[in-house]
């Protein structure tokens, strides 16, 4: 009887280990672009993060004019710089999701300036950031260079 329980426990542990491994697997779709384009996208991402941090600081001190200003800098005008550079390089759905985030920030800026309601802004921010979360769950970006390197590596593994 004792043996049976031990066996069952071992089986459960093995199952947990297998499921944990399966969960760790990176299932995000890989977007392959040039190294320069990748740097450009990641730079924009970091600008989004630091802009949101500034918006939160301004919200905490109820400085709605500053909120509007920081939100506007993350709006559609932010995308013009990137347009030529990234034209056609990114999947359509990716671009659409990205653009809708910038549109959200224009709306956040307008509402912050007119309504001056920090709770409303927080709600908008939270809603819009669901798009950050959703996109990050779906995609990863590699440069063409990185991809060919990892292909070479897996090639080597096959022959070992
Ligand atoms: C349309 C898709 C998409 C949206 C929307 C999006 N991101 Fe990203 N973001 C990505 C991808 C793809 C990466 C790279 C992930 C990887 O390769 O592992 C990334 C990376 C980042 C990084 C890391 C940058 C670095 O230097 O490595 C930050 C920070 C970031 N995003 C912040 C944000 C924030 C904040 C938002 C929302 C306001 C946001 N992102 C919205 C796709 C998106």
| Domains held by the chain: number | 1
Q: How long is the chain?
A: 160
Q: Determine the residue of 132, 143, 145, 150 to mutate for testing ligand 1's pocket, defined as the one with the most ligand atoms within 8 A of the Cβ atom.
A: 132
Would you say residue 111 lies in a domain? Answer: yes
| Separation between Cα atoms, residue 104 and residue 72, nearest integer Å | 10
Answer yes or no: are the C-beta atoms of 140 and 28 closer than 8 Å: yes
In a domain? residue 153: no
Going from the Cα of 116 to the center of ligand 1, the distance in angstroms, rounded, reads 28
Residue 12 located in a structural domain: no
Query: Which of 81, 8, 88 has the alpha carbon at shortest distance from 40?
Result: 81
Is residue 127, in this structure, part of any structural domain at all? yes
Strands 139-143 and 29-33: parallel
**CA 45 to ligand 1 centroid distance, Å:** 5
Extract the residue ranges of the chain whose pLDDT is less than 70.
1-3, 9, 11-24, 81-83, 150-160
Where in the sequence is the domain holding 62, given as residue range(s)? 35-145
CA triple 81-126-79, angle to 5 deg: 5
Cα distances (angstroms) measured from residue 83 to each of 37, 41, 78, 90, 118: 11, 11, 10, 11, 32
Note whether residue 86 is domain-resident. yes
Q: What digits encode the pLDDT tens for the residues 14-60?
A: 666 655 556 668 899 999 999 999 999 999 999 999 999 999 999 99
The answer to whether position 23 is within a domain reads no
Residue 105 lies in a domain: yes
Examine residue 21 and state whether it is found in any structural domain, yes or no. no
């Amino acid at each position: 009887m004792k043996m049976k329980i031990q066996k069952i426990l071992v089986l459960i542990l093995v199952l947990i280990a297998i499921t944990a491994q399966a969960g760790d697997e990176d299932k995000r779709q890989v977007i392959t672009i040039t190294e320069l384009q990748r740097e450009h996208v990641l730079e924009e991402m970091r600008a989004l993060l630091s802009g949101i941090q500034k918006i939160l600081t301004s919200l905490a001190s109820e400085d709605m004019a500053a909120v509007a200003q920081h939100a506007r800098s993350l709006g559609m005008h932010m995308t013009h710089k990137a347009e030529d550079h990234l034209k056609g390089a990114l999947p359509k759905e990716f671009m659409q999701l990205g653009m809708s985030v910038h549109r959200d920030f224009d709306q956040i800026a307008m509402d912050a300036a007119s309504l001056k309601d920090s709770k409303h802004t927080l709600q908008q921010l939270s809603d819009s950031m669901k798009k950050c979360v959703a996109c990050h769950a779906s995609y990863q970006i590699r440069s063409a260079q990185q991809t060919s390197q990892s292909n070479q590596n897996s090639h080597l593994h096959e022959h070992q």
